[in-house]
Amino acid sequence: QQTIEESDATNCSPSDYTIHVKNLPRHKTIQELREKLTEHFETVLAENAKEEGAEGEDTGVFDVDFARNNGSEVYWKKRRGKIARRKDKLENEVYMLNEWGKYEGKKKLRLQTLHHYLQKQFERCNGKLEAIQEKIDQGKNKEYASSAFVTFNTEQAYVRARRMYVHLG
């Protein structure tokens, strides 16, 4: 634990200058929200004076990233992955049984039925994912951000934002 803390103290990463904003304002698009947050934090930093003795230029927001509400898409991708794993395992089993000359009779029928079922389930998952993407593309199913990660250009900007918004992580 101590080694990790020492390493973290000597290395700089984007997370060192990033705050987590949880309660976001209403928005129609992700891009609109990105612009609002960037404008807000740059305005706040410009209006509030630097502390005495603070060094370095305070240049504002570097980037804004979002955590999105894509639970249904994640569900269908995980389900498709599980089905693909089962299907791959089944295909390997069929190949080995074929090699050994034991792919016949009831076993063959059972494995063919299972393969057909898994193929249908896999296609169903792909269809659901395509439908979700089509809705997003057509604007019917809008993506909303559930939280934002605002990264500042300088440590000075990050520290000032943290002092003004103590509750942000």
How many CA atoms are closer than 13 Å to the CA of 133, on its beta-carbon side? 9
pTM of the predicted model as reported, rounded to 2 decimal places: 0.55
State residue 51's pLDDT score.
61
Question: In 81-95, which positions are buried (b, 16+ CB within 10 angstroms) versus exposed (e)?
Answer: eebeebbeebeeebe
Q: What does the block give as tokens for 49?
A: 């004076």
Q: Which residue ranges of the chain lie beneath pLDDT 50?
A: 53
Annotated domain spans of the chain: 16-69+145-164, 75-138
Residue identified by tokens 């080995």 is 96
* Of 89, 90, 34, residue with least CA distance to 63: 34
State residue 54's pLDDT score.
54
* Architecture category of domain 16-69+145-164 in CATH: 2-Layer Sandwich (3.30)
Q: What is the β-pairing status of strands 145-152 and 61-68?
A: antiparallel
State residue 26's pLDDT score.
80
